Amino acid sequence: SQTIHQWPATLVQPVGSPLSLECTVEGTSNPNLYWYRQAAGRGLQLLFYSVGIGQISSEVPQNLSASRPQDRQFILSSKKLLLSDSGFYLCAYGTSVRTQYFGPGTRLTVL
Amino acid sequence: SQQGEEDPQALSIQEGENATMNCSYKTSINNLQWYRQNSGRGLVHLILIRSNEREKHSGRLRVTLDTSKKSSSLLITASRAADTASYFCATDGDTGGFKTIFGAGTRLFVKA
């Protein structure tokens, strides 16, 4: 069966510090991978998506970046966090172009 | 601009009542999906309806789609306290199929 892992679950970081969030998928090959951010009580904002290794599409220009070093690994990074980077970050995969399956999320607080 | 927008933003009902949530979108679609999110958790896919379908059922869920009005509704019958969650509609829109655009969601609270 397919599963998606995301860590850490919660993270508190000071402004200006780096960020690395990791997402891995098991049980499927060549999935489409997605990073979303969700502000409190709001919908999802698509940040990045990837249709293959090394292929990253950015939806929102900002100080975040994404990488896909392996088929089932998706990493969200920042060199210097801003207060506005606080939020709930969700990784998702899609084995078809339609349905997406989400990880448990990472609650990031930038102080 | 946001593709899917849910209405109402929040809904509070008694256990046993039906809950209806609506979604409107702006561009043509190939399919529309509904997801559920419990507080502080990831989203869970509930149901997908294709653009050539008008109604779909899954357990206590009923989804309708009206492409002429660019709208969809999600009906939860005989609601339970465990149905308390946020519900999002999502469409593929004019994205080539790789992206799913989510609405802002309806927050449903079912009182026991």
User: pLDDT digits over A64-74, tens only?
Assistant: 999 999 999 99
Asked if the C-beta of A46 comes within 8 angstroms of chain B's C-beta atoms, the answer is: yes
Note whether A67 contacts B: Cβ–Cβ < 8 A. no
- Name the nearest CA neighbour of B21 among B79, B87, B70, B93: B87
How much is the mean pLDDT over chain B? 91
Regions of chain A with pLDDT less than 50: none
- Indicate yes or no: CB of A43 within 8 angstroms of CB of B40: no
Nearest CA in chain A to B89: A43
Average pLDDT over residues B69-84: 97
CB of B106 within 8 Å of any CB in chain A?
no
Q: Which of residues 17-56 of B touch A (CB under 8 A)?
A: 30-31, 33, 40-45, 48
Residues from chain A that touch B107, judged by Cβ atoms under 8 A, are 41
β B10-14/B106-111 pair status: parallel
Confidence of residue B1 (pLDDT cuts 50, 70, 90): very low
* A99 interfacial to chain B (CB closer than 8 Å): yes
Closest Cβ opposite residue B98 in set A42, A49, A99: A49
Instruction: Write out chain A residues lying below 8 Å of B40, CB-based.
Output: 88, 105, 107
Residue burial B1-16, b: 16+ Cβ < 10 Å; e: rest = eebbbbeeeebebeee
Q: What is the pLDDT of residue B7?
A: 83
Contact A74, A49 (CB under 8 A): no
Is A105 in the B-facing interface, judged by CB distances under 8 Å? Answer: yes
How far is the alpha carbon of B112 from chain A, nearest alpha carbon, in Å? 23
Let me know: does B85 contact B58? Beta carbons within 8 Å.
no
CA distances from A38 to A28, B6, B41 (A): 26, 16, 11
> What is the pLDDT averaged over residues B68-83?
97
Report strand pairing: B19-24 vs B5-7.
antiparallel
The verdict on B61 touching A (C-beta cutoff 8 Å) is no
Q: What is the number of other CB atoms lying within 10 angstroms of the CB of residue B50?
A: 13
